């Protein structure tokens, strides 16, 4: 190249890096660090549900907090009151609710009385549909019951006893909880009483820093409460606790594994080159790569996922490969070649290695998971920047770099000679790896269960199970989502769903469900007609028993979602209803004890505006689908690589050069099986990287301008740096990352072990 071009490239790259620094300074203050495992999952996961309604419900659900406070084996509201007082003082919580006070109960009763004709419950409606006699008989049963406590005032103002019917229906829907002094209270098998409180987070449950502060403060409040009331116990539930656990695990990985990774890589480079300048050059290329990766990722996504940062620790080792290959060439042949001549010598291998590795990462863009796409963008941009740093700057930075003896030169030459002349090595090692790979693959199990990606803490799981047993409300995220272009349409669709759900419960396909106690205006009109038909019959039956009542008020008392949401009676139900500014609305119908998911899915398919949501099952299906898709893409990539090798090197040498890639993939899968892990989407993502990184080693050895000794030294140092980075992921506390590290480490080691197969035959004895 003309002599002025290297300087122009160097200055141009300096301008680019400066722009990246400016971009990062602008984007970083606005960026958010996400720690939610759910954020790794597809953004659209609820099928045909409108995205705005889906997002609204999920954001609301993620903010919910629930507490059960126990004073002991005797009912005592003072402990729950003390806990509520502490919660009300916390700036990160809002709308903390505990008991319904006397004023609230009066408002509740007043609203039900004033809107009783529009709040007819399902049981009352069923009696009315049978005729006025059925409702009259029920009213008489309440009058003559020793436990009902019907007053003359109640009968005078509400002869049809609609308010009482609604109250009884609500009590049945919350049969596991009972009201004591305005509190919802449950009792466990040990006889302890548990008082329920609930509230909301003001911010996102996935904000790592604020989430950590909130959880720490709540744990501190628990200790303070137990000091004040030694017999007290508190159980907590919310997405916040799981998100905080995941973020703390990832933070531990970043801090401990990251420090060990950087320290190990720097020490290794210092030992090999015995000079600070190569160390500084490696740090520079890695830093520029990290800078570019962070800036481009923030530009594309506006945020970074914590798991992306943890898995990107591996980029440190990979991006250092380009610097190491050039530096080893200078260390071995710096006395005979100029820096530019050395660059020309290694440039084809560097660019081929960069292209294949970036392509391997970009294959990840086919996965619909935001976190994985972030990793792909981070890696592709970071590796490109690291390689360009070597190409543009380092011919000037290595001038005067001392030429030193190659470490372990005798052993490396012996190893290379064995691959050229010893059939036991050249044939035996690949065949042994092949047998081991086949044995491992044969015993490999496929598991697409999202729950296997991260082990949840036992204390949180035990509390979750206990609270579900006490309240009857779980967090398994199985529900019907009903939506419409208007509130009336949504409510009418809910009413069409209700009898189907009752049939499913009767058929033992589900154990239960929760429907908001709100009827459409059309249903309210129909109820009013039934009431008008039943009123004369009721008056007649009561008169026959000697009870005279005036005609009930049968005027319209409409209840719309807007009126209902603003009233006290919607407390505890608002979570199940969502109204958007454009008039659209949605309703959740939680379902418990699902025994036939296919029946529920079929039901949703035949009803307009109804979608069955089982988030875990949906994610599992997506994992399986994209695992199969990625496997196909991986196979296609191997075929494409083999074809490119054969076109460039001929059929025989081309096929021989693809053997290390195949054995590296097989070795990674075998290690996964022998370590007791299952094959999932993350394992295949690791194989994509194994293929991309392993090709680097093959390309270094197959470079006709290079020498086997230089390639051996570069690949050895690159392997060690990669193992110090990617290999550290094996020790991650997150199962998905740990299995990712196992596949990468073992697969790349197999690629290193068999890479000398790519040496041209004419290089025999050449050093």
Q: Which residue has the tokens 């695990």?
A: 249
| Domain boundaries of the chain, sorted by first residue | 1-30+275-404, 410-462+615-767
Percent of the chain with pLDDT over 90: 29
Least confident of 384-398, 399-413, 433-447: 399-413
pLDDT at 435 over 90: yes
Neighbours of 411 (CB within 10 A): 11
- Determine the average pLDDT of the residues in 102-106: 80
Contact 305, 34 (CB under 8 A): yes
**Quick one: pLDDT band at residue 38, thresholds 50, 70, 90?**
low
User: pLDDT for 194-219, tens place per residue?
Assistant: 999 999 888 765 566 777 888 999 99
pLDDT at 447 over 70: yes
Contact 699, 353 (CB under 8 A): yes
pLDDT at 317 over 60: no
User: pLDDT for 260-273, tens place per residue?
Assistant: 666 777 788 888 88
User: pLDDT for 687-729, tens place per residue?
Assistant: 887 887 788 788 888 877 778 888 888 888 888 877 877 777 7
- Which residues 6+ apart lie within 8 Å of 483 measured at CB? 49, 50, 53, 490, 493, 584, 585, 586, 587, 609, 611
Q: Distance of CA 60 to CAs 53, 54, 203, 509, 588, Å? A: 11, 10, 11, 28, 12
For the whole model, what pTM was predicted? Answer: 0.71
pLDDT at 41 over 60: no
pLDDT at 767: 46
State the average pLDDT for the chain: 84
The CATH class that applies to domain 1-30+275-404 reads: mainly alpha
Q: Distance of CA 340 to CAs 12, 77, 344, Å? A: 17, 81, 6
User: Helix crossing, 276-301 with 370-397: angle to 10°?
Assistant: 140
User: Helix crossing, 276-301 with 258-273: angle to 10°?
Assistant: 140
CA 736 – CA 734 distance, rounded (Å): 6
Q: Which of 341-345, 491-495, 634-638 is most confident?
A: 491-495
Secondary structure class of 675 (helix, strand, coil): coil
Strands (DSSP E) contained in 54-116 are: 64-72, 93-97
Question: Which CATH architecture does the domain made up of 410-462+615-767 adopt?
Answer: Up-down Bundle (1.20)
Q: What is the dihedral of CA 152, 153, 159, 165, to 10 degrees?
A: -100
pLDDT at 356 over 80: no
pLDDT at 737 over 60: yes
- Which residues 6+ apart lie within 8 Å of 149 measured at CB? none
Least confident of 325-334, 443-452, 725-734: 725-734
Least confident of 342-356, 431-445, 454-468, 587-601: 454-468
DSSP 196-223: EEEEEESS-TTBHHHHHHHHHHHHHHHH
**Quick one: pLDDT band at residue 749, thresholds 50, 70, 90?**
very high
User: What burial letters (b/e) apply to 482-497, b meaning 16+ CB within 10 Å?
Assistant: bbbeebbbbbbbbbeb
Residue 187: strand pairing partners: 193
pLDDT at 47: 57
**Quick one: pLDDT band at residue 143, thresholds 50, 70, 90?**
confident
Burial status of residue 151 (CB atoms within 10 A of its CB: 0-12, 13-18, 19 or more): exposed
pLDDT at 367: 65
Contact 70, 245 (CB under 8 A): no
pLDDT at 765 over 50: no
Q: Distance of CA 116 to CAs 111, 539, 552, 560, Å? A: 8, 18, 11, 13
Q: Nearest-CA neighbor of 321 among 754, 726, 696, 702?
A: 696
Q: Nearest-CA neighbor of 457 among 302, 236, 191, 613?
A: 236
Judge whether 1-30+275-404 and 410-462+615-767 match in fold: yes
- Determine the average pLDDT of the residues in 536-558: 87
User: pLDDT for 270-286, tens place per residue?
Assistant: 888 888 888 888 889 88
pLDDT at 452 over 80: no
Token pair listed for 304: 């970074």
pLDDT at 174 over 60: no
CA 298 – CA 28 distance, rounded (Å): 8
pLDDT at 410: 87
CA 672 – CA 666 distance, rounded (Å): 10
Q: Are strands 478-484 and 303-305 parallel, antiparallel or unpaired?
A: unpaired
CA 587 – CA 53 distance, rounded (Å): 9
Residue 193: strand pairing partners: 72, 187
Q: Which of 120-134, 428-442, 686-700 is most confident?
A: 428-442
């Amino acid at each position: 190249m003309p002599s002025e071009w290297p300087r122009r490239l160097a200055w141009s790259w300096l301008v680019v890096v400066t722009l990246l620094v400016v971009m990062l300074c602008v984007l970083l203050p606005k960026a958010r660090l996400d720690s939610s495992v759910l954020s790794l999952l597809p953004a659209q996961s609820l099928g045909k549900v409108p995205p705005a309604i889906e997002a609204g419900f999920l954001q609301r659900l993620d903010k919910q907090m629930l507490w059960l406070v126990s004073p002991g084996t005797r009912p005592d509201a003072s402990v729950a009151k003390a806990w509520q007082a502490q919660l009300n003082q916390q700036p990160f919580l809002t709308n903390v609710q505990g008991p319904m006070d006397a004023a609230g109960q009066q408002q509740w009763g007043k609203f039900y009385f004033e809107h009783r004709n529009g709040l007819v419950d399902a049981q009352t409606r069923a009696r009315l549909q049978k005729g006025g006699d059925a409702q009259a008989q029920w009213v008489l049963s309440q009058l003559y019951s020793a436990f009902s406590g019907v007053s003359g005032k109640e009968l005078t103002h509400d002869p049809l006893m609609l308010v009482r019917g609604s109250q009884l229906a609500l009590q049945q829907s919350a049969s596991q909880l009972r009201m004591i002094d305005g509190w919802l209270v449950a009792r466990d098998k040990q006889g302890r009483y548990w008082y329920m409180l609930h509230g909301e987070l003001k911010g996102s449950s996935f904000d790592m820093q604020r989430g950590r502060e909130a959880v720490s403060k709540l744990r501190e409040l628990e200790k303070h409460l137990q000091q004040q009331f030694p017999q007290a116990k508190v159980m907590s539930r919310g997405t916040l606790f799981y998100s905080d656990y995941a973020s703390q695990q990832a933070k531990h990985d970043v801090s401990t594994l990251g420090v060990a990774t950087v320290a190990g890589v720097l020490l290794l480079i210092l030992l090999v080159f015995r000079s600070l300048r190569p160390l500084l050059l490696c740090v520079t290329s890695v830093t520029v790569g990290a800078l570019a990766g962070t800036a481009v990722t923030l530009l594309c996504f506006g945020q970074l996922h914590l798991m992306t940062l943890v898995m990107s620790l591996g980029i440190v080792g990979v991006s250092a490969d380009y610097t190491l290959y050039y530096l080893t060439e200078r260390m071995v042949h710096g006395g005979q070649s100029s820096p530019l001549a050395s660059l020309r010598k290694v440039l084809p291998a560097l660019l081929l290695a960069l292209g294949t590795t970036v392509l391997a990462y970009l294959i990840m863009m086919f996965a619909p998971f935001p976190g994985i796409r972030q990793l792909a963008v981070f890696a592709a941009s970071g590796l490109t920047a690291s390689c360009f740093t070597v190409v543009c700057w380092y011919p000037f930075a290595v001038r005067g770099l001392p030429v030193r003896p190659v470490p372990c030169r005798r052993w490396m030459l012996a190893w290379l000679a064995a691959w050229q002349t010893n059939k036991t090595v050249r044939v035996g090692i690949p065949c042994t790896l092949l047998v081991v790979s086949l044995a491992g693959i044969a015993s490999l199990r496929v598991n697409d269960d999202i729950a296997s990606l991260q082990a949840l803490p036992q204390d949180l799981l035990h509390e979750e199970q206990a609270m579900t047993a006490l309240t009857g409300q779980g967090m398994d995220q199985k529900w019907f989502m009903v939506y419409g272009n208007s509130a009336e349409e949504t409510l009418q669709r809910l009413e069409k769903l209700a009898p189907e759900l009752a049939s499913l419960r009767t058929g033992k396909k589900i154990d239960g469900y929760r429907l908001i106690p709100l009827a459409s205006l059309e249903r309210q009109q129909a109820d009013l007609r039934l009431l008008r038909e039943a009123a004369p019959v009721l008056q007649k039956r009561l008169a026959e028993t000697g009870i005279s009542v005036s005609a009930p008020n049968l005027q319209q008392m409409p209840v719309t979602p807007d009126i209902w949401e603003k009233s006290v009676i919607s407390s505890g139900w608002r979570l199940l209803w969502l109204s958007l500014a454009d008039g659209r609305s949605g309703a959740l119908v939680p379902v418990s004890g699902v025994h036939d998911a296919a029946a529920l899915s079929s039901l949703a398919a035949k009803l307009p505006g109804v979608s069955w949501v089982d988030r875990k099952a949906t994610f599992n299906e997506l994992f399986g689908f994209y695992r199969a898709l990625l496997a196909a893409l991986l196979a296609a990539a191997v075929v494409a690589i083999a074809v490119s090798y054969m076109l460039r090197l001929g059929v025989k040498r081309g096929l021989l050069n693809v053997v290390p890639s195949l054995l590296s993939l097989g070795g990674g899968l075998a290690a996964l099986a022998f370590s007791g892990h299952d094959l999932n989407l993350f394992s295949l993502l690791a194989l994509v990287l194994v293929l991309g990184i392993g090709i680097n080693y093959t390309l270094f050895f197959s470079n006709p301008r290079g020498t086997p000794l230089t390639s051996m030294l570069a690949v050895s140092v690159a392997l060690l740096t990669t193992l110090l980075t990617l290999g550290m992921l094996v020790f991650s506390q997150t199962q998905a990352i740990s299995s990712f590290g196992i596949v990468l480490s073992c697969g790349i080691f197999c690629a290193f072990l068999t890479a000398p197969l790519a040496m041209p035959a004419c290089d025999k004895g050449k050093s």
